[in-house]
């Protein structure tokens, strides 16, 4: 493609524009510096965010573990308390429990309170518990089960002014219960030693951390040292959003007159939010980095002025490049236009085995959008295509034309022709794949092959039929004379039966010969305008009662196909044959679907059943003359169907899957006929 001289003339730089170009260049450089400064600040904020999030996540993980440790420790205390209760019960059962022994066990095992009830729930012994506490415990369902003996032991949570503790109780074999209450101070000390507050204060002492706070809507739960007040969650939309939506977020927050970088994250236990962790990081170092970045920007701006003068000397070269680039773009647009309008599918695969070009014809062939595939591995188009394309990268590869089958998202299988070429340079090797949909052309070729085969077989059948008819007539006439003019003195019934069998079989052979001759010398097409919708309705009406007998649902999917020139009787015969075969394929019921539509310059008819399907090894032979899988019949039915469709310049295809069903597709061209109205 020749270069446009106007582009070259417009590209010549005039001296009076040098100053303006220099100013623009300086502005661009300064703008770039400002952009870099902004990007640097964003990166700095991102680092602060990640650091704060790491601290917050570490606290959250350690808090979960601390809570787990606390739960395990409480479980051990529960076991200890239950063991003490069982010890008291055993001593009581064997009559060795007295007040002195009871007091010694209570003192040695840090038991705060204990009591014993008889089977009626009356207090036998009470150590510092109090009747009010015992009465409140009696209302607990587990306590009632213990008293009745339905349960042998239980642990019940208790709450009082000093904090929460638990009661461990066992059923008394003499009737009633024995209960001990753990020392709340022991639980408090355990909570203090492994609690969240200890973790928060320990981490909060690190340099650069202004504060760490665990806060809920009521106020501060725990915080690092010297933190006594923080802004409440309510009234702060930033904190409210993080708590309500259970999301982590960050902001610059003014704390005691100085800016800190604050990250908040929800404190979750079993996906339930119990507050917010607020981590504030000092921005002293960040502000120092910002100041240094600003200094560099000023120096960069000064340097850009000097550099701009140097750059101007290269503008002529740059302009030449611009001219070439403009020409390249025009060539690229031209190439893209050709690619988008070419009938063949063009796919370009780069050295990384990724798709770089996928034209419109490829979208139609594969049923996929270019936006979904460009940049994706070639494996997205199937393992067979991937294997063929990968072979091209082999140094010993030889060019070849491939034929592959492709099925997209369960649609009709397509037969594709694939031609590959390889383009190599220093850095990369690309593959150009040219796809052509040859499904229809192959179907036409197969149709022509079948037609030629049937014509040859028909001629042979006709010749054989003529040769057979004469001796067959002689056999038939002889059998009739034997039956009519002769008789036997013995076994007369057998004689009559044999002569009748000869006549019947002669008639059957004669019928087959007549079918031969009909196939070999088909009647000439009687083309006339036919309403396709009415034709389909007429054929369906003929098989409706037969379908109802086998409980088959008929699904019609066509409307206003229009009128075209057909031989009504012959097309009707072909369709009726296909519909009857479909009904016979569903002896236990099913669905028979008849679809028809106009596509381009043709009418397509699709007949689908949900029957037993056709075996894979049988499928290629079903249109062969005299081939049948039925116990009865001549095997001419589908051969006649194929011949009728072929004489209408159309073709027929079949697709079948065992135990799923069979689909026949008929293609009838409209060309050289009256247009459909």
- Res 195 pLDDT > 60: no
Which of the pair, 58 or 365, is modelled with greater confidence? 365
pLDDT of 638 reads 84
Residue-wise pLDDT tens digits, 504-531: 777 777 777 776 666 656 678 889 999 9
Name the β-bridge partners of 355: 349
What is the distance between the alpha carbons of residues 273 and 266, in angstroms, rounded to a whole number? 6
Q: Has residue 634 been placed in a domain?
A: yes
SS3 letters across 352-411: CCEEEEECHHHHHHHCCCHHHHCCCEHHHHCHHHHHHHHHHCCCCCCCCEEEEEECCCCC
Domain match, 565 and 648 both = yes
What is the distance between the alpha carbons of residues 556 and 532, in angstroms, rounded to a whole number? 13
DSSP state of 168: E
Q: Has residue 264 been placed in a domain?
A: yes
What is the distance between the alpha carbons of residues 328 and 344, in angstroms, rounded to a whole number? 24
Residue-wise pLDDT tens digits, 464-505: 666 776 677 777 777 777 777 777 767 777 777 777 788 777
pLDDT of 533 reads 94
Q: Span 315-329, mean pLDDT?
A: 69
For β-strands 153-160 and 563-566, DSSP reports them as unpaired
Residue-wise pLDDT tens digits, 425-439: 777 788 888 888 877
Domain match, 550 and 621 both = yes
Residue-wise pLDDT tens digits, 19-53: 666 677 667 767 776 777 777 777 777 777 777 77
Q: Has residue 57 been placed in a domain?
A: no
pLDDT band (50, 70, 90) for residue 589: very high
Domain match, 351 and 429 both = yes
Is residue 645 exposed (0-12), middle (13-18) or buried (19+ Cβ within 10 Å)? buried
Is residue 56 exposed (0-12), middle (13-18) or buried (19+ Cβ within 10 Å)? buried
Per the listing, tokens 């120092």 go with: 288
CATH of the domain at 404: 3.30.450.20
The set of residues, in sequence order, having a beta carbon less than 8 Å from that of 489 and lying 6+ positions away, is: none
- Res 205 pLDDT > 50: yes
pLDDT of 631 reads 59
Mean pLDDT score of the chain: 78
Count how many domains the chain has.
Answer: 4
pLDDT of 316 reads 61
Instruction: Report phi then psi at 172, rounded to 5.
Output: -90, 120
Domain match, 635 and 562 both = yes
Please choose, from the candidates 623, 607, 45, 23, the residue with its C-alpha nearest in 3D space to the C-alpha of residue 312. 23
| Final residue before a domain boundary, out of 411, 437, 463 | 437
In the chain, the percentage of residues whose pLDDT exceeds 70 is: 77
Q: Has residue 596 been placed in a domain?
A: yes
- Res 563 pLDDT > 60: yes
What is the distance between the alpha carbons of residues 676 and 673, in angstroms, rounded to a whole number? 9
Domain match, 574 and 493 both = no
pLDDT band (50, 70, 90) for residue 401: confident
pLDDT of 1 reads 45
Q: Has residue 305 been placed in a domain?
A: no
Which DSSP helix (H) or strand (E) runs through 415?
Answer: strand 414-424
Please give the C-alpha separations between residue 27 and each of 37, 296, 308, 476, 612, in angstroms, as whole numbers: 15, 16, 10, 111, 77
Is residue 260 exposed (0-12), middle (13-18) or buried (19+ Cβ within 10 Å)? buried
- Res 153 pLDDT > 80: yes
Residue-wise pLDDT tens digits, 163-177: 557 788 898 888 889
Indicate left, alpha or beta for 66 from its phi (over 0: left) and psi (-120 to 50: alpha): alpha
Q: Has residue 75 been placed in a domain?
A: no
Torsion of CA 423, 425, 427, 433, to 10 degrees: 0
Please choose, from the candidates 669, 627, 622, the residue with its C-alpha nearest in 3D space to the C-alpha of residue 645. 669
Residue-wise pLDDT tens digits, 620-645: 888 876 667 665 656 677 888 888 88
What is the distance between the alpha carbons of residues 75 and 87, in angstroms, rounded to a whole number? 18
DSSP state of 677: -
Compute the Cα dihedral for 321, 327, 331, 334 and give only its sign: positive
Instruction: Report phi then psi at 389, rounded to 5.
Output: -65, -45
pLDDT of 572 reads 93
Domain match, 231 and 348 both = no
pLDDT band (50, 70, 90) for residue 70: low
CATH of the domain at 576: 3.30.565.10
Residue-wise pLDDT tens digits, 348-390: 888 888 888 888 888 887 888 888 888 889 888 888 888 888 8
pLDDT band (50, 70, 90) for residue 416: confident
| Final residue before a domain boundary, out of 437, 468, 483 | 437
What is the distance between the alpha carbons of residues 205 and 547, in angstroms, rounded to a whole number? 86
What is the distance between the alpha carbons of residues 358 and 674, in angstroms, rounded to a whole number? 39
pLDDT of 539 reads 93
pLDDT of 2 reads 46
What is the distance between the alpha carbons of residues 351 and 349, in angstroms, rounded to a whole number? 7
pLDDT of 667 reads 92
Least confident of 246-260, 277-291, 307-321, 328-342: 307-321
Residue 190 near residue 70, CB atoms below 8 Å? yes
What is the distance between the alpha carbons of residues 208 and 211, in angstroms, rounded to a whole number? 9
pLDDT of 634 reads 61
Residue 257 belongs to what domain range?
A: 195-282
Domain match, 511 and 536 both = no
First to last CA, the chain: 47
What is the distance between the alpha carbons of residues 261 and 378, in angstroms, rounded to a whole number? 47
pLDDT of 591 reads 95
> Which two three-digit tokens encode residue 136?
């409140």
Domain match, 511 and 545 both = no
pLDDT of 409 reads 60
Please choose, from the candidates 545, 616, 618, the residue with its C-alpha nearest in 3D space to the C-alpha of residue 583. 545
Q: Has residue 127 been placed in a domain?
A: no
The number of C-alpha atoms within 13 Å of 424 and in the hemisphere containing its C-beta is 6
Please choose, from the candidates 511, 543, 450, 465, the residue with its C-alpha nearest in 3D space to the C-alpha of residue 633. 511
Rg (CA), the chain: 47
Which of the pair, 182 or 89, is modelled with greater confidence? 89
- Res 540 pLDDT > 60: yes
| Final residue before a domain boundary, out of 520, 546, 571 | 520
> Which two three-digit tokens encode residue 652?
């027929």
Which of the pair, 489 or 648, is modelled with greater confidence? 648
What is the distance between the alpha carbons of residues 64 and 54, in angstroms, rounded to a whole number? 15
Domain match, 545 and 641 both = yes
Domain match, 507 and 540 both = no
pLDDT band (50, 70, 90) for residue 3: very low
Indicate left, alpha or beta for 422 from its phi (over 0: left) and psi (-120 to 50: alpha): beta
Residue 290 near residue 252, CB atoms below 8 Å? no
Domain match, 576 and 606 both = yes
- Highest mean pLDDT: which range of 109-123, 432-446, 594-608: 594-608
pLDDT of 517 reads 65
Q: Span 408-414, mean pLDDT?
A: 65
pLDDT band (50, 70, 90) for residue 193: low
- Orientation of helix 141-148 relative to helix 131-138, angle to 10°: 90
Please choose, from the candidates 547, 555, 667, the residue with its C-alpha nearest in 3D space to the C-alpha of residue 600. 667
Domain match, 660 and 542 both = yes
Give per-residue burial for 175-208: e unless 16+ CB within 10 Å, then b.
ebbbbbbbbbeebeebbeebbbbebbbebbeeee
């Amino acid at each position: 493609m020749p270069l446009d001289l106007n582009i070259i003339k417009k590209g010549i730089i005039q001296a009076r524009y040098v100053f303006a170009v220099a100013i623009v260049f300086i502005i661009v450089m300064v703008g770039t510096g400002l952009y870099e400064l902004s990007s640097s600040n964003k990166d700095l904020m991102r680092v602060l965010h990640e650091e704060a999030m790491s601290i917050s996540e570490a606290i959250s993980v350690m808090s979960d573990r601390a809570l787990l440790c606390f739960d395990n420790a409480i479980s051990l205390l529960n076991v200890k308390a239950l063991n003490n209760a069982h010890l008291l019960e055993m001593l009581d059962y064997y009559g060795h429990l007295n007040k002195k022994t009871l007091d010694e066990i209570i003192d040695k095992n840090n038991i705060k309170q204990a009591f014993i009830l008889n089977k009626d729930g009356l207090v036998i012994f009470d150590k510092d518990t109090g009747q009010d506490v015992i009465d409140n415990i009696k209302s607990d369902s587990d306590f009632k089960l213990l008293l009745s003996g339905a349960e042998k032991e239980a642990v019940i949570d208790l709450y009082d002014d000093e904090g929460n503790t638990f009661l461990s109780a066992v059923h008394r074999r003499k009737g009633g219960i024995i209960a001990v209450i753990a020392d709340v101070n022991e639980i408090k000390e355990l909570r203090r030693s492994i609690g969240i507050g200890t973790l928060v204060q320990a981490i909060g002492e690190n340099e650069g951390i202004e504060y760490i706070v665990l806060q809920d809507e009521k106020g501060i739960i725990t915080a690092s040292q010297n933190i006594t007040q923080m802004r409440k969650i309510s009234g702060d939309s930033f904190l409210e959003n993080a708590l309500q939506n259970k999301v982590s977020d960050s902001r610059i927050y003014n704390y005691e007159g100085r800016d800190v970088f604050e990250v908040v994250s929800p404190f979750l236990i079993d996906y339930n939010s119990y507050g917010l962790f607020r981590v504030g990081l000092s921005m002293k170092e960040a502000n120092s980095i910002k100041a240094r970045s600003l200094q560099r920007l000023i120096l960069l701006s000064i340097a850009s002025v000097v550099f701009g003068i140097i750059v101007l000397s290269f503008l002529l070269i740059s302009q030449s490049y611009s001219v070439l680039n403009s020409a390249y773009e025009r060539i690229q647009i031209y190439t893209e236009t050709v690619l988008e309008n070419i009938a063949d599918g063009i796919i370009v695969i780069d050295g990384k085995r990724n798709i770089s070009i996928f034209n419109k014809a490829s979208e139609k062939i594969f049923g996929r959008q270019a936006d979904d595939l460009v940049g994706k591995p070639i494996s997205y188009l199937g393992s067979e295509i991937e294997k063929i394309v990968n072979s091209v990268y082999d140094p010993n590869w030889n060019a070849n034309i491939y034929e592959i089958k492709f099925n997209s998202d369960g649609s009709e299988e397509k037969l594709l022709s694939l031609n590959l070429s390889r383009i190599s340079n220093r850095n990369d090797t690309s593959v150009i794949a040219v796809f052509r949909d040859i499904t229809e052309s192959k179907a036409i070729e197969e149709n022509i092959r079948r037609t030629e085969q049937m014509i040859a077989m028909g001629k042979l059948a006709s010749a054989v039929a003529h040769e057979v008819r004469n001796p067959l007539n002689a056999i038939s006439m002889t059998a009739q004379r034997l039956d009519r003019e002769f008789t036997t003195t013995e076994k007369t019934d057998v004689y009559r039966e044999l002569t009748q069998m000869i006549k019947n079989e002669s008639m059957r052979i004669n019928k087959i010969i007549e079918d031969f001759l009909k196939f070999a010398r088909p009647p000439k097409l009687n083309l006339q305008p036919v309403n396709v919708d009415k034709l389909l309705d007429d054929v369906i009406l003929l098989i409706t009662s037969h379908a109802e007998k086998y409980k088959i649902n008929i699904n019609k999917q066509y409307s206003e196909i229009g009128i075209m020139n057909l031989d009504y009787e012959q097309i009707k015969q072909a369709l009726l044959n296909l519909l009857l075969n479909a009904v016979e394929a569903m002896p236990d019921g099913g669905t028979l679907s008849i679809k028809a539509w106009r596509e381009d310059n043709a009418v397509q008819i699709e007949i689908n059943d949900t029957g037993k399907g056709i075996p894979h090894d049988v499928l290629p032979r079903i249109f062969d003359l005299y081939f049948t899988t039925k116990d009865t019949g001549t095997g001419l039915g589908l051969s006649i169907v194929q011949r009728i469709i072929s004489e209408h310049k159309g073709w027929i295809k079949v697709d079948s899957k065992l135990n799923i069903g069979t689909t026949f597709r008929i293609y009838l061209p409209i060309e050289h006929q009256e247009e459909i109205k």
